[in-house]
Amino acid sequence: MPRTVKELARKRTLRLVFLGVSQVATFAASGLFAFLLRFDFTLPRSGHRFVFSAIPVWIVIKSIAFHFARLDRRGYRYVSVRDAYRILLTNLIGSIASYPIILLLAPNGFPRSIYLIDLVVCIVGTAGGRVAVRLIAESHNGHGTKPEKRALIYGAGDAGITLLREIRNNPRLAYKVCGFLDDHLVKKGVLINGVPVLGGGANVASLVKERDIEIILIAIPSASGVQMTRILELCHAADVECKTVPGLGEIIEGHGLAGQIREVAVEDLLGRTPVHLEEKQIRSTIAGRMIMVTGAAGSIGSELCRQIARFRPAGIVGFEMAESPLFDIDQEMKRSFPEIPFHPEIGTIQSRARLDEVFRKHQPAVVFHAAAYKHVPLMETHVFEAVENNVLGTYNLAQASLDNGVEDFVMISSDKAVRPTNIMGATKRLAELLLSSLQNGGTQFITVRFGNVLGSNGSVIPTFKKQIRAGGPVTVTHPDMRRFFMTIPEACQLVLQASAIGEGGQICVLDMGQPVKIVDLARNLILLSGLKPGDEIKIEYTGMRPGEKLYEELSSLTEDTVATQHEKIRIFVGSTNPDIDVLTWIGSLRAICAARDMSRLVVTIKELVIDYNPSAHLLRRILDIEDTQPVASISD
């Protein structure tokens, strides 16, 4: 046996012996003290026989009771209210069980009041001793040489109380808690573990000044985005640092509370509730099967790979056209999930031959299609490339899946596919219609539609952060611009859930919550950076970009959705099939792209996607192209 294991076993044995000896000593001392109290601290010689008959019984019976209650194994320094209740109840049971035995063994004249006195003294001794040990341990715990920050805890609920205990017990948390803040005014003046509730959010500025507070720890895991934004603004107005404490789920997934007190993040200000997954259902669709992810090195694709690996597939095929990002995700997957084979494959969905090679080599059972051109302004100026990749590439992938026996095909779509005003959205809508048209009872085609994800490549969050680091200005296209947001992990988890509950030909729509004003997002990011919006960092409006609209939608007015078994996933029940045959319109789009005929392409897309409204920018480009083309002479 290794020496360290022996030492641990020895220390554990010594600890149990100490607990046992101290417990027996407490029982004996409590009994003796009870007799002294009964006889006014002058124990007569005749009382000695009572002592020698009762105390051994109490020691044996109470030791047995404490053993079955497992109180002889619980460390004194971690005593809790629940432990105190168990101590009270166990002492009561021990005294009751001792009564008939002492009645049989004790000589006549045994004073009955001794039973009650002993019970009270023993409860005080066994509970008080544990509390004293905890108080001594906490008072000597200290925080080393690291200076303590004077702190207020915002939130006097369970999370706040847990945080206070952790701060007192954990040397890594160098804070001195001076009070609680809570917006429930009925709590004002209440003492919680010796710490007063000083007031609510309105008192932040005055309390910070009066008590020389250096940091506010936000312990409200259930706070909405609006509440978190208000608290952040109050802390910033008081010129005090603030950090937040995660919910219990994050603590369990992480490494304890101490390592999870962190800066307030933009995700906290959205107020998104945690996703509850039906993991058994997801595991049944993924475990033991070969999974292919297209766009595997992108924001969504890479997170899908991580989430899929949790459910132990037979392997993951990462299909990606960008070499360096694919190398990075390959290294990450091999490091983080060494037991799950990850197969990096370079290629483009626009090459049917390359797709067939990969399908024949790995024979995936499930395909998650995340590869797409997604940047709206860029696609408005690269119309043919958007169609070739998002529509024709998706068709190649779908046909390869059909031909190679893929069981489930899940495509990532976008809220921009709803009543599209740009080419990117129109191509995603075409891809949705395409997959619905191909549903023939073989491969099960499912589309998952959602809005923007925080922190994805090219999204507003990284852009805003770069602008703030550069000293501003932060550029927003329009003061009324709104978008739906969710985090990348949340989006990918719901995609997996949708793949498990969706049926062939369906479009699953994720619950994106309430739309967020982009300018509010910009202001909050500036606040999170410790700066003042409008003063230290300017916000400038640049005008809407080509193809943009003020409000995104997840379903249009003519569309409808029905609920599923998961609260955050609904099924779209609107029209899903174009009027013409899929092979006909795919062939038409190929020919138009080959001819580079933009006006004909836009007209064709408009015919297929009835509610597509081409942007003014694109229409002007078409007119400019037509104006520059030579006019045929009359003789021609």
Which residues are 244's β-sheet partners? 218, 262
Q: Are 505 and 574 in contact (CB under 8 A)?
A: no
Considering the domain architecture, whether residues 176 and 201 belong to the same structural domain is answered as yes
Distance CA(578)–CA(431), nearest Å, equals 11
CATH number of the CATH domain containing 359: 3.40.50.720
Q: Which of 8-22, 150-164, 452-466, 478-492 has the highest mean pLDDT?
A: 150-164
Domain stops at, among 107, 141, 175 = 141
User: Does residue 623 sit within a domain?
Assistant: no
pLDDT digits (tens, 9 = 90+) for 262-278: 555 565 566 555 556 67
Q: Is the pLDDT of residue 231 over 60?
A: yes
User: Does residue 19 sit within a domain?
Assistant: yes
Range in 15-19, 509-513, 541-545, 550-554 with the lowest mean pLDDT:
550-554
Q: Tokens 């001792």: give the residue.
A: 98
User: Does residue 583 sit within a domain?
Assistant: no
Considering the domain architecture, whether residues 62 and 10 belong to the same structural domain is answered as yes
User: Does residue 98 sit within a domain?
Assistant: yes
Q: Confidence class of residue 534 from pLDDT cuts 50, 70 and 90?
A: confident
For position 48, what pLDDT does the model report?
A: 79
Considering the domain architecture, whether residues 11 and 131 belong to the same structural domain is answered as yes
Considering the domain architecture, whether residues 170 and 310 belong to the same structural domain is answered as no
Reply yes or no: is the peptide bond before residue 44 cis, omega within 30 of 0. Answer: no
Considering the domain architecture, whether residues 308 and 190 belong to the same structural domain is answered as no
Q: Is the pLDDT of residue 146 over 60?
A: no
DSSP secondary structure of 4-23: HHHHHHHHHHHHHHHHHHHH
Q: Confidence class of residue 355 from pLDDT cuts 50, 70 and 90?
A: very high
Considering the domain architecture, whether residues 284 and 416 belong to the same structural domain is answered as yes
Considering the domain architecture, whether residues 237 and 302 belong to the same structural domain is answered as no
Distance CA(315)–CA(495), nearest Å, equals 19
Considering the domain architecture, whether residues 301 and 416 belong to the same structural domain is answered as yes
pLDDT digits (tens, 9 = 90+) for 63-82: 888 888 877 665 555 566 67
154 is written with which tokens?
């915002």
Domain stops at, among 561, 577, 593 = 577
pLDDT digits (tens, 9 = 90+) for 170-228: 777 788 899 999 988 888 888 888 889 998 888 899 999 898 898 898 888 777 777 88
Considering the domain architecture, whether residues 132 and 217 belong to the same structural domain is answered as no
Using a cut of 0.85, tell me whether the model's pTM lies above it.
no
Kindly report the average pLDDT of the chain as a whole number. 82
> In which domain, by residue range, is 503 found?
279-452+485-512+553-577
Considering the domain architecture, whether residues 104 and 191 belong to the same structural domain is answered as no
Count other Cβ atoms within 10 Å, centred on residue 405.
12
User: Does residue 461 sit within a domain?
Assistant: no
Considering the domain architecture, whether residues 214 and 283 belong to the same structural domain is answered as no
Q: Which of 304, 572, 554 is CA-nearest to residue 451?
A: 554
Q: Is the pLDDT of residue 4 over 70?
A: no
User: Does residue 525 sit within a domain?
Assistant: no
Considering the domain architecture, whether residues 346 and 439 belong to the same structural domain is answered as yes
Count of domains in the chain?
Answer: 3
Range in 7-11, 369-373, 391-395, 606-610 with the lowest mean pLDDT:
7-11
Contacts of 586 (CB under 8 A, 6+ apart): 391, 392, 395, 434
Q: Which of 502, 625, 609, 500 is CA-nearest to residue 556?
A: 609
Q: Residue 351 — φ and ψ, nearest 5°?
A: -105, 105
Average pLDDT over residues 477-488: 79
User: Does residue 527 sit within a domain?
Assistant: no
User: Does residue 627 sit within a domain?
Assistant: no
Reply yes or no: is the peptide bond before residue 313 cis, omega within 30 of 0. Answer: no
